[in-house]
Structure 1
Amino acid sequence: MQIRVGFNLLLRCERATPMIVILGVHESRASDLLEADPLQLLPKVPCQAYIDTYGNHCNRLLAPAGPMRLRGTGLVADRGLPDPVLPWLEQQPVEQLPDHALLFLLASRFCESDLLTNFAWSQFGQVAEGWQRVQAICDFVYQHVRFDYNRSSPTKSALQTFESRVGVCRDFAHLAIALCRCMNIPARYCTGYLSDIAVLPPHSAIDFSAWFEAYLGQGWHVFDPRNNTPRIGRILIARGRDAADVALTTSFGPSVLESFEVWAA
């Protein structure tokens, strides 16, 4: 299966503003790129690529005062299979976890696991460890939180989502991640494209999507508390502790997103 992915964003800055952009298909899917998806800037400005702490491909640039358009499109080969469901996978004791997973047990900017620990243990402490426990957390978040595009903000945290019971996919992921970390399950935030392949209509407009990966068995596995069902055509852009690590654009000064278009089909 081939999936055409891409984006078209229009930003406006009050003055020349340094910026970090994370919008390309992740290195883990590089071998699947049939057509590369380089970042295109209008007006053209110098752009420096680098790899961040989490292995994400980033670009740094100085956005000019006024409007700037960011574009990119690529063609990705995909297996066309839904997310794997592996209920036999076990949870590793903290003392046996690999070093690289330990960071994803800690509270972070948007995932205040330290403030949700008592609730998490009372709610999930009797659930079998491993895949079943992570799925129980996803079920809870899916049932507890109502999706509403108009009821979120860039600063909304897992605790705020837990209390307000409403949010977008980013908020669903943050709450599930925080609850997993409470239960000593490493969890990391993911952002990327998610197609509507094999999803019954009506379809909402395609947007960048958020999900998470939990460390079970000997590796990382996808969970999606927003949709809470295996999906086809999930294409990763970036991973981190939470959305603060993988913002699509981070501006070091005032900026406004004036228009936003995403496709994955």
Structure 2
Amino acid sequence: MEIEAGYDIAFNCDRDVPMVLMLSIHPSRHPDLLTEHKMYLSPNVSYRNYRDSFGNECTRLRAPAGLIEIRNRFIIADSGRPDDLAPDAPQIGVGQLPDGTLIYLLGSRYCDTEKLSSFAWSQFGNIPSGWQRVQAICDYVHDRLEFGYHHARCDRTAAEGHEECRGVCRDFAHLAITLCRCMNIPARYCTGYLGDIGVPKDPAPMDFSAWFEVYLGDRWYTFDARHNHPRIGRIVIARGRDAADVAISTTFGPARLVRFSVVTEERITTQELGTYNHATTNREAAFM
């Protein structure tokens, strides 16, 4: 399938403000692009891209005083398959884990493992390790937290979310990641596009989404504690230890967000449209 995605974001700056933006799709998805993936800025200020220590593509620029608008729209190919399921995927002992996964066992800014470790072992220690244990963590977080955009708070940690029993998608991800790490399962935070493809349309405005990945067997698998079922059409922007590593914008000075919109939707190709029109004509003929 083809997915059309993009954003339209604007800041108002009191003075020149250096910025780091994380709005480009992850380099692993570059081969799937069907159109140019380019950031457009108004006014037309210069910028440059670089890769951070997690392999994400970041953009550096200096926003001038006043309004700066940042836009992008692109089309990307997608398999159309839902997230992989692997119920037999085993948990790997810490001593056998690849070196690069170990950082995802440690506590981080929003994933305060030291506050939830005892609880995690008492709650999930008797559940078989591997996929079944991760799914039990997702089920618990999904049931524990109440989702609502009005619950958003930029400084909520996993332990605080657990106590408050509410949050947005990042809070669901942070709590699930933290509980996995407490159980010695490497878990990393993901942000990206996730449209209403194959599910009823959400009436709320589109936003970027957060989910997480765990290392089981010999690879990373996608989990989503908020939705808690396989989804179609995820487009990763960035991965890190938690939301602090993958902020869509980091400003080094006062900058007020004045516009924010995100688009992610399945694109009907000309061939698919022709098939749809043909099927519609046949149905109409049957009633004539």
| TM-score, structure 1 normalization | 0.98
Q: Post-superposition shift, 1:37? A: 1.6
Partner residue in 1 for 2:20: 20
The percent identity for this pair of structures is 52
Q: Post-superposition shift, 1:38? A: 1.0
Q: Post-superposition shift, 1:66? A: 1.3
Matched residue of 2:151: which SS?
A: coil
Partner residue in 1 for 2:66: 66
Moved over 3 A (4+): none
Q: Is contact 2:196–2:202 with CA below 8 Å preserved after alignment?
A: no
Partner residue in 2 for 1:185: 185
Q: Post-superposition shift, 1:202? A: 4.7
2:18 is the alignment partner of 1:33: no
Q: Which runs of 5+ in 2 are unaligned?
A: 266-288
Provide the aligned C-alpha RMSD in A.
0.9
Partner residue in 2 for 1:165: 165
2:213 is the alignment partner of 1:204: no
Structure 2: how far apart are the matches of 1:258 and 1:85? 40
* Pairs aligned (count): 265
Question: Which residue identity does 1:113 align to in structure 2?
Answer: T
Matched residue of 2:137: which SS?
A: helix
Matched residue of 2:41: which SS?
A: strand
Greater CA deviation, 149-158 or 86-95?
149-158
Q: Post-superposition shift, 1:259? A: 1.2
Matches within 5 A, 1:30-109: 30-109=30-109
Structure 2: how far apart are the matches of 1:256 and 1:141? 32
Structure 2: how far apart are the matches of 1:31 and 1:167? 34
Q: Is contact 1:196–1:203 with CA below 8 Å preserved after alignment?
A: no
Question: Which residue identity does 1:115 align to in structure 2?
Answer: K
Structure 2: how far apart are the matches of 1:185 and 1:23? 28
Partner residue in 1 for 2:272: none
Q: Which runs of 5+ in 1 are unaligned?
A: none
Q: Post-superposition shift, 1:204? A: 2.7
Greater CA deviation, 198-207 or 13-22?
198-207
Q: 1:164-199: per-residue Cα shift (whole Å, max 9, x none)?
A: 000000110001000100000000000000010110
Q: Post-superposition shift, 1:203? A: 3.7
Matched residue of 1:139: which SS?
A: helix
Larger Rg belongs to: 2
Structure 2: how far apart are the matches of 1:250 and 1:122? 38
Q: Post-superposition shift, 1:146? A: 0.2
